[in-house]
Structure 1
Amino acid sequence: MSELIVFTDLDGTLLDHDSYSFAAALPALDRLRAANIPVILASSKTAAEITPLREELGLAACPAIVENGAGLMAAYSSNVEGSDYSNLRRKLDELPANLRRLFVGFGDMSTEQIAQDTGLPDKSAQDAANRQFSEPGIWHGSSAELDTFTNQLAARGISARRGGRYLTLSFGKTKADQMQSILGQFSTPTSIALGDAPNDIEMIMTADIGVIVHNPHHDALPDIDGERDGRIIRTKLSGPAGWNAALQQILSDHGID
């Protein structure tokens, strides 16, 4: 059993914010695979999106956390049981019209609109729209209106969390919640978590070693408990280059060739 396990966000972390490429992370990925260290993808992406990416990364033997922690995909499987999506959309549509119109979710967009906004090809945009638990979208209102929006959602049991690109609505499970269940499957090795956005904070704080990956496309995350003692670090490089540099150093610190 590996002494290390890695949990990683995707967009803006392992994947480049603009190109979605992970090429700059390949040296560290190769070291991790050679050492049989599990790499758990943890993203707001759907199971349909993560399945081919997990295959391409050579990580099909690892479970994956989908839709910001709302679902867990087992190793060698593309299925995630259950669906709260229709209930989520129903509760969203119960909001007063003056608030509801300020949030444009994926369920309000055509595949072509999702493709245009994300920069994804049409097939990937279709996979992004194939949601089971959560609703990412674009907020068009003020900060004060956002506070009212999130408070009214919270009264309906829905949380709103900011990721690297979108405001994502769900019934509250986080990446950190699923992380805890996965650690038990792997006899709780030393955990490493990497992310760039507010919806990654709990996962980064839960890990034994946390890495905040620089992302120039949004405001830097606030100071987090654990940074002063070095348990949580920040990369200077952004995206997969920062991911690669951080993990290369951690692997060397642990004596892993």
Structure 2
Amino acid sequence: MIHPLPLLVFSDLDGTLLDHQTYDFAPARPALDALAEIGAGVVLASSKTAAEIAPLRNEMGLAAWPAIVENGAGLLPADTAGTDDDSVYRDIRTRVARLPPGFHGFADMSAQAVARLTGLPLTAARAAKARQFSEPGLWKGDAASLATFLDAARKAGLHARQGGRFLTLSLAGTKADRMGALIARYQPRATVALGDAPNDTEMLQTADFGVIVKNPDAPALPPLAGEATGRIIRTDAPGPMGWGHAIFDLLARLGLTKESPTDG
């Protein structure tokens, strides 16, 4: 008998499963091991590119699961390092070139410039520039010109989302959109999403259970629908430590432990 997937976990990376300062995930390793023991799936969901996520996914032992990349604009299939297909990205850049001036994207920047803007090491900045599904960048014009630019982008079929630092253009698609498709594919008994930032809100609200991971280095998320009933919780510990605590608490809450059967 094939048992249904007991739990499917969707997790943001920076500030959530990865420490905000060190990018270490070691404190979450026991929880990752516990999830593997019960046969749960873990889908990484991040603004990072496939080139950035693939080695992290391998290191975490999660290569058997797909990953949501570039904030939901694309998907990194399971058991692969991805492809070199940048046709979607080239399409985006072609459309951007026809828009009013003022947008300075990653394609317009050197790896050194991206490293300075993001604080990433140079090798990581090169991986961040390996775009396939979206184009982050800086707006160099004034507010009035931005409104004109965004209207033109919308008419060109581009979806724009302003993050904490970058304005990102894509052909649409969010973390929540990708979640819905993966939930339909794997049909887990329960889902949980973990994140620390406003761009994780849709993901947190889409899952059966949401976890807002404490990040002392970023503004706190405002209260979300579901917190009053306990469907969405907040961790006391930050980053991967809080991530691990939340996963163990949820496994206990659902009766999903190594000793508990997952088939009935």
Once residues 22 and 140 of structure 2 are traced to their aligned partners in structure 1, the CA distance between those partners, rounded to angstroms, is 25
Percent of aligned positions that are identical: 53
What stretches of structure 1 of length at least 5 have no aligned partner? none
Which of 84, 93, 99 aligns to 1:95? It is 99
2:181 counterpart of 1:181: yes
Residue 139 to residue 82, structure 1, CA distance change in 2 (3 Å): closer
Q: CA deviation at 1:132?
A: 0.8
Which structure 2 segments of 5+ residues have no match?
Answer: 258-264
Question: Is the contact made by 2:100 and 2:152 (CA closer than 8 Å) also made in structure 1?
Answer: no
SS of match in other structure, 2:211: strand
The aligned counterpart of 2:209 is: 209
2:10 is aligned with what amino acid? F
Change (3 A) 1:27 1:104: farther
Alpha-carbon distance in structure 1 between the residues aligned to 2:59 and 2:66 = 14
Tell me the equivalent position of 2:44: 41
What residue in structure 1 maps to residue 18 of structure 2? 15
1:6 aligns with 2:5: no
Over 3 Å counting, the alpha-carbon distance change for 1:188 and 1:126 in structure 2 is same
Q: CA deviation at 1:191?
A: 0.5
Could you tell me which residue of structure 2 aligns to residue 124 of structure 1? Answer: 124
1:85 lines up with 2:89 in the alignment: yes
Q: 1:122 to 1:208 in 2, by over 3 A?
A: same
Partner of 2:260: none
2:223: which partner in 1?
Answer: 223
- How large is the Cα RMSD of the aligned pairs? 2.3
Does the residue aligned with 1:84 lie in a helix, a strand or coil? helix
State the secondary structure of the residue aligned to 2:137. Answer: strand
| Structure 1 residue 136: Cα displacement | 2.1
Structure 2 CA distance for aligned equivalents of residues 127 and 246 of structure 1: 30
Task: Report the 3-state secondary structure (helix = DSSP H, G, I; strand = E; otherwise coil) of the residue aligned with 1:72.
Answer: strand
Amino acid at match of 1:66: V
In 1: Cα distance, 2:53 partner to 2:176 partner: 18
Q: 2:203 aligned with 1:200, yes or no?
A: no
Name the CA distance, whole Å, in 2 between partners of 1:250 and 1:127. 34
| Residues 100 and 149, structure 2, Cα contact 8 Å, conserved in 1 | no
1:37 counterpart letter in structure 2: A
Which has more radius of gyration? Answer: 2
> Contact (CA 8 Å) 1:164, 1:218: kept in 2 or not?
no
Residue 146 to residue 24, structure 1, CA distance change in 2 (3 Å) = farther
- The number of aligned residues is 253
Amino acid at match of 1:216: P
Which residue is 2:76 aligned to?
73
- TM-score under structure 1 normalisation? 0.87
Preserved CA contact (<8 Å) 1:6 1:191: yes
Q: Once structures 1 and 2 are overlaid, which stretch shifts more, 77-86 or 41-50?
A: 77-86
Q: Is the 8 A contact 1:11 1:164 kept in 2?
A: no
Match of 2:261 in 1: none
Give deviations 1:36-86, integer Å, cap 9, x for gaps: 211001111111111111100000111111111111222102235663212
Distance in 1, matches of 2:150 and 2:212, equals 25
Deviation at 1:161, TM superposition (A): 2.5
- 1:160 maps to 2:160: yes
